[in-house]
């Protein structure tokens, strides 16, 4: 009876799950879909409405999101729902591995994954990386606790994510091989506070056949949408060849930008993760305890995942999610050793932690104010000098506590102070993500995880088009439109207009020039740079900012210290023009492009 009662640990995991759902679902549909997101969402929409769909390598996203569109209709929020749910599911994975990591470390890891800015951001993107990560690791966790049927289902869903799952699967495989090589025939995770049979199931005892059957049925049923989409697996089969071709093509995303993203968004995980790596490979480090084999393998996984993300030429921001998990695992195990409380030493450590927290807050305020006091290089020099001075003062405080009380008290106070201050920074970064959407997307705010380019005026464009259609036909989707812009995000916002026609950008002159005035399309959409001069005779035009990109001449923002506080950089925008035929407006007569009424 007592084995199934709700404990404090269960309550805390539930709280972590609720936090994960809040940060991932709040204002989920407020930001327009970028071109990369819209390309995936359009495939799902085509599946939902029964149009011929060329399903790409991300079958899981297309099929599952297409099912949502069938039931509830299409929207930006529903296009991002499955990645958000998979990201929240990731928070429960530490609970399944708590025997391997330790109860305290697993609980710390759950909250770290719930609040990590990069994971939250990627969970709010209509794409497959977070689905591959969340479903895959949850499936491995189910296998670890001996639930082979469920494990096979989630592993199958992860594999169906296609291209985003390849680097994760490759990294885990290489890490497992490296761990086996270093173990030299011994169990990969010996000891760790459990029986060897509990920590690492025996290959002969575990129901691998059940897992493989579940994986196969999941691939077949979900990949073909239970028979409704026979070609659903065609694109998925090409995932590995596409990944290999990516080693010969550059995506345009510098590797340095991804590497800088780690300390910019996960300073807490990076600092204590590196401490755990050092402790894992230095046997004298007593904080690691009996979990040295686990940490050594996780450190190998992190290094391999980092190398794959950095050196893959076709890298994308989503590739970095595979490095976040092992980094947080390392940090959580290391931090779990500083949760033991001693009443007398605790007061000293709390006082030291409060002082360090105050010093780091003052450091942050100086970073924020430096750009307003002095310009350019002088401001950066002042910031760096202030930072060095305050950090030196924090180090001196730790040394004095160690000399006056004990090294354990000083180290505990240092860790608590750094955890509180860096944790507040991580929390602020995380909360900013849904708040950006609530305040409408600001083009000047440049995050390193952004799936650029993002259409800035999409909502205004659709609203204007709907008003013109309602004025002309009585229906907000009843007007005829000719679009001479090739953009997935534009195709997405026009998906509910049945009378839309897409042409090549160079064909707009021939379409309008050869028609009589009464046969001209009611609406034309062109690029601002590609507009035809004669259109002004028969049409009225309004430009809309559509593609907004950071104006970066290097891998990083021009003033990194300023960016780390305010996240703003110069931005360049490209506009499209909505041309409305003149007779749609009250009191205007129609003039053809040649000037004949």
Is position 447 within any domain?
no
593: in domain: no
Same domain, yes or no, for 325 and 354? Answer: no
Return the pLDDT at 385.
78
271 in the same domain as 357: no
Same domain, 187 and 49: yes
Looking at residue 534, what is its pLDDT? Answer: 60
332 shares its domain with 258: yes
For residue 526, report the phi and psi dihedrals to the nearest 5 degrees. -135, 170
Residue 591: count of CB within 10 angstroms of its CB:
18
In the chain, the number of structural domains is: 3
Query: What confidence score (pLDDT) does residue 184 get?
Result: 73
Last residue of a domain, one of 288, 321, 337: 337
Same domain, 362 and 495: no
Alpha-carbon 172 to chain mean position: 20
Whether residue 464 is found in the same domain as residue 516? yes
What pLDDT, on a 0 to 100 scale, did the predictor assign at position 142?
A: 94
Based on the fold, state whether residues 531 and 392 are members of the same structural domain: no
Residue among 75, 43, 74 at smallest CA distance from 57:
43
Q: Per the domain annotation, does 215 fall within a domain? A: yes
Q: How far apart are CA 272 and CA 287, in angstroms?
A: 12
Can you read off the two tokens belonging to residue 36? 């990369």
Q: Write out pLDDT tens, residues 128-159.
A: 899 999 999 999 999 999 899 999 999 999 99
Looking at the fold, whether 175 and 257 belong to one and the same domain comes out as yes
The HSE-up count of residue 384 (CA atoms within 13 Å, CB side) is 9
Domain of residue 413, residue span = 340-438
pLDDT at res. 535 = 61
Verify that 392 and 479 share a domain, yes or no. Answer: no
Q: Is residue 594 part of a domain?
A: no
pLDDT of residue 304: 95
Same-domain pairing of 277 and 371: no
Low-confidence ranges of the chain (pLDDT < 50): 1, 191-204, 287, 289, 437-441, 443-444, 516, 533, 593, 595-597
What's the pTM value of the predicted model, to 2 decimals? Answer: 0.89
Report yes or no on 25 lying in a domain.
Answer: yes
Whether 311 maps to a domain, the answer reads yes
* Residue 597 within a domain: no
- Residue whose structure tokens are 């800035």: 456
Query: Using DSSP, how many helices (H) and how many strands (E) does the chain show?
Result: 28, 5
**At which of 337, 358, 384 does a domain end?**
337
């Amino acid at each position: 009876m007592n084995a199934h009662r709700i404990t404090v640990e269960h309550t805390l995991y539930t709280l972590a799950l609720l936090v994960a759902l809040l940060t991932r679902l709040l204002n989920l549909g407020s930001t327009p879909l970028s071109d990369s997101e819209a390309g995936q969402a359009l495939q799902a929409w085509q599946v939902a409405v029964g149009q011929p769909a060329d399903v790409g390598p991300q079958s899981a996203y297309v099929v599952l999101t297409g099912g949502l569109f069938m039931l509830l209709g299409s929207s930006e929020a529903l296009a991002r729902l499955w990645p958000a749910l998979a990201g929240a599911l990731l928070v429960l994975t530490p609970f399944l591995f708590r025997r391997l990591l330790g109860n305290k470390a697993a609980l710390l890891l759950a909250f770290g994954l719930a609040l990590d800015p990069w994971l939250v951001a990627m969970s709010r993107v209509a794409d497959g990386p977070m689905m591959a990560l969340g479903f895959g690791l949850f499936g491995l966790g189910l296998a670890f606790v001996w639930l082979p049927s469920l494990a096979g289902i989630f592993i199958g869903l992860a594999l169906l994510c296609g291209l985003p799952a390849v680097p994760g699967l490759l990294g885990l495989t290489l890490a497992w091989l490296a761990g086996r090589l270093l173990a030299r025939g011994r169990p990969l995770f010996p000891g760790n506070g459990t029986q060897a049979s509990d920590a690492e199931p025996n290959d002969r005892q575990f129901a691998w056949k059940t897992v493989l059957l579940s994986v196969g049925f999941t691939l077949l049923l979900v990949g073909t949408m239970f028979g409704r989409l026979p070609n659903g697996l065609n694109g998925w089969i090409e995932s590995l060849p596409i990944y290999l071709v990516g080693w010969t093509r550059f995506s345009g995303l510098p590797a340095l930008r991804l590497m800088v993203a780690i300390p910019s968004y996960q300073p807490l995980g990076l600092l204590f993760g590196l401490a755990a790596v050092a402790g894992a490979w230095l046997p004298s480090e007593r904080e690691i305890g009996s979990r040295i084999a686990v940490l050594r393998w996780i450190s190998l996984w992190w290094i391999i995942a980092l190398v794959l993300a950095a050196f893959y030429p076709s890298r994308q921001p989503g590739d970095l999610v595979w490095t976040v998990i092992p980094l947080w695992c390392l940090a959580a195990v290391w931090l779990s050793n500083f949760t033991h409380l001693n009443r007398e030493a605790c007061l000293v450590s709390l006082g030291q932690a409060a002082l360090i927290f105050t010093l780091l807050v003052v450091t942050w305020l100086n970073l924020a104010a430096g750009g307003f006091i002095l310009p350019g290089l002088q401001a950066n020099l002042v910031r760096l000098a202030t930072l060095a001075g305050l950090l030196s003062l924090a180090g001196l405080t730790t040394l004095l506590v160690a000399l006056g009380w004990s090294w354990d008290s000083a180290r505990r106070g240092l860790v608590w102070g750094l955890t509180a201050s860096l944790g507040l920074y991580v929390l602020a970064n995380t909360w900013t993500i849904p708040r950006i959407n609530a305040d409408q997307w600001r083009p000047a705010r440049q995050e390193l995880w952004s799936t650029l380019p993002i259409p800035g005026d999409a909502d205004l464009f659709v609203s204007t088009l709907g008003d013109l259609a309602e004025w002309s036909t009585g229906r907000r989707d009843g007007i005829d439109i000719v679009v001479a812009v090739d953009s997935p995000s534009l195709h997405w916002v026009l998906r509910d207009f049945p009378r839309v026609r897409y042409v090549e950008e160079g064909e707009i002159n021939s379409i309008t020039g050869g028609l009589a005035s009464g046969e001209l399309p009611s609406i034309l959409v062109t690029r601002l740079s590609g507009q035809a001069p004669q259109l002004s005779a028969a049409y009225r035009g309004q430009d809309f900012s559509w593609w907004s990109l950071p104006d970066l001449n290097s891998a990083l923002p021009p003033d990194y210290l300023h960016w780390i506080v305010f996240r703003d950089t110069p931005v360049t925008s490209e506009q499209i023009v909505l041309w409305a035929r003149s007779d749609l407006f009250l009191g205007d007569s129609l003039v053809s492009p040649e000037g004949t009424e």
